[in-house]
Amino acid sequence: MNGAESLVRSLLASDVEVCFTNPGTSEMHFVAALDHVPGMRSVLALFEGVATGAADGYWRMARKPASTLLHLGPGLANGLANLHNAKKAGSGVVNIVGEHASSHIALDAPLTSDIEGIARPVSHWVRSSSSAADVGFDAARAVRAACTAPGQVASLILPGDTAWTMGGVVADRLTPPAPPRPGDALVEQAAQALAGPDSLLLLGGGAMDAQGLEMAGRIAAKTGCALMAEWASARAERGAGRVALPKVPYPIDLALEALAPYRRIVLLGARAPIGFFAYPGKPARLTRPDAEILELATAGADLPATLDALVQATGAGGTAAPLAKASLPDLPPLGPLTPDSIAPLIARAIPEGAVVVDESVTTGRAFGPATTGAAPHSWLNNCGGSIGYGLPVSIGAAIARPDRKVLALISDGSGMYTVQALWTLAREGLDVTIVIFANRSYNILRGELTNVGVQNPGPRAIDMLSLDRPTLGWVDMARGMGVEASRVEDTAAFALALEAGLAAQGPVLIEAVM
């Protein structure tokens, strides 16, 4: 078999079953191998940022990596921003990047670039195969790297001749390294620190699953400590029957206020809270200056085992965790769509088992509290801050979990970044209900202008934050890419459209004009 076929067979042997792709000439042998070898689902994206974001979403819901297949350096470059987001979320992704044949690279053809250089800033692992015989084993190593806790970005660069030359060898799956767990002394120290309402257990990463939260809830009930989640979680299990956690707010003043009570903070899968940006005259570290911060376990540690050990050390084994009760907010009055009138409608509509992909930015700041008692669901945040993550992540989530409804909450500015995702949603018939919050501005930046100390911004500055000239017609754009769509302007119409969208099979887009 040639190297390309050994790639596909080795990926399958490592349990990689999905490939998000936009291929080119240098990847044609891989495309042919995807065709000849049964078992790999190939999903075409019209832009590589869609492919890499989809791989991120797939990992979050499948707990195993998908591959991407990207065309040379520029194809990888187009996927870079969502790989940045995946890296920050701790998502495992296996990028397969085609390269010119080895003999061709030195000639500096038009598409030649420094692919390793482009890959490195967003990858934990980068390798170029040197022969067809290496491709299978390199693929297995890439998957192992991607599966290294909490999940990593692995980029395997394959020169064309490694694909078309015979001599490919299928490699077996390689076991990723076991995640570390903290020693008993550190666990004991953490248990001591968690005593009373001025102590905080800050959770992140894999600690946000239902079992992890339940253990954290016992610890809090036993010790009296507070619980909080990081500003963003790659995936948090929420809703009725789960332990509800507030999260560190995005606006810096609210974050400082929320963290002010805590003198002792234990980090479990989370990092010490810092500002999203630096603001003149404000601290970068959001915790009080005298806070003692204990890093019990990083996101890459064995978080279930760490939580279990902490339950034992705090003597919380027999304590019940406080679980959120099923409770839906009241219907908002009939009227215009605002963040506050939308939040209860979202909460009431979330179907049981839904995957909520949240890129609602400023519109969504009230969604967290409103949905605490909603039907149980998974909530996915953007952890890397690069907009354009939501629609692609929805693709991956829907492919990973076809048994669950995906609800994508997308701000208009963010949605435009990877709007091509709509076509893939339609092509694959994915069960995703998309809400576009059409506030027609980069609303977050209006606040940030003030936060960073800009006084009296003028009309040309405001114009750079406005999306209203011309108005974006989301219904037209969605239809142009094969997605059924409607436009709503008040709470009643939104509630009806959301109910209908969630009841339908396949992708539906709702433009919510604010």
Q: How far is the CB of 278 from its own copies (least distance, A)?
A: 4
C-alpha span between 481 and 385 (Å, rounded) = 26
Q: How far is the CB of 392 from its own copies (least distance, A)?
A: 13
Paired residues of 157 in beta bridges: 97, 128
Distance CA 90, CA 262 (A): 27
Closer residue to its own copies (CB): 34 or 347: 34
Instruction: Label the pairing between strands 236-238 and 377-381.
Output: antiparallel
- What number of other Cβ atoms are within 10 A of residue 291's Cβ? 20
What SS3 string covers 23-80?
Answer: CCHHHHHHHHHHHHCCCCEEEECCCHHHHHHHHHHHHHHHCCCCEEEECHHHHHHHCH
Smallest separation, CB 128 to its own copies (Å): 15
Min. distance of Cβ 368 from its own copies in angstroms?
Answer: 18
Q: How far is the CB of 474 from its own copies (least distance, A)?
A: 7
Q: Which is nearer to its own copies, 333 or 459 (CB)?
A: 459
Closer CB to its own copies, residue 224 or residue 480? 480
Q: Count CA within 13 A, CB hemisphere, residue 100.
A: 16
Task: Closer to its own copies by CB, 100 or 141: give it.
Answer: 100
Answer for the pair 16, 174: CB distance below 8 angstroms, yes or no.
no
Query: What is the smallest separation between the CB atom of 16 and its own copies, expressed in angstroms?
Result: 16
Cβ contacts of 157 within 8 Å, gap of 6 or more: 97, 98, 99, 115, 116, 119, 126, 127, 128, 129
For the chain, the residue count is 514
CB of 219 to its own copies, least distance (A): 27
Work out how close the CB of 459 gets to its own copies at its nearest, in angstroms, rounded to a whole number.
Answer: 7
Matching residue, tokens 């339609």: 426
Least distance (Å) between residue 383 CB and its own copies? 6
Provide, rounded to whole angstroms, the least separation between the CB of residue 99 and its own copies: 10
How far is the C-alpha of 375 from the C-alpha of 217, rounded, in Å? 19
Grouping H, G, I as helix, E, B as strand and the rest as coil, residue 472 is coil
Q: Which is nearer to its own copies, 314 or 411 (CB)?
A: 411
Tokens linked to 323: 């679980």
Q: Which is nearer to its own copies, 31 or 268 (by Cβ)?
A: 31
Residues 6+ apart with CB under 8 A from 470: none
Residue closer to its own copies (CB basis): 114 or 403: 114
**Residue number, 239 or 273, with CB nearest to its own copies:** 273
Q: Which is nearer to its own copies, 162 or 306 (CB)?
A: 162
Instruction: Identify which of residues 23 and 92 has a Cβ nearer to its own copies in the complex.
Output: 23
d(CA 212, CA 237): 9
**Nearer residue to its own copies within complex by CB, 379 or 474:** 474
Q: What 3-state DSSP class applies to 410?
A: strand
Whole-Å CA distances, 344 to 333, 363, 431: 11, 13, 23
- Nearest residue (CB) to its own copies, 120 versus 325: 120
- Largest Cα–Cα distance in the chain? 69
Least Cβ distance, residue 23 to its own copies (angstroms): 6
C-beta separation of 93 from 146 below 8 A: yes
Please report how close the Cβ of residue 218 comes to its own copies at its closest, in angstroms: 30
Q: What are the strands, taking DSSP E only, across 317-471?
A: 354-359, 377-381, 406-411, 432-438
Give, in order, the Cα–Cα distances in Å from 469 to each of 48, 249, 507.
28, 31, 28
Dihedrals phi, psi of 370, to nearest 5 degrees: -65, -25
Q: How far is the CB of 214 from its own copies (least distance, A)?
A: 27
> Nearer Cβ to its own copies, position 280 or 318?
280
Which residues are CB-contacts of 421 (< 8 A; sequence separation ≥ 6)? 45, 50, 53, 54, 391, 392, 394, 395
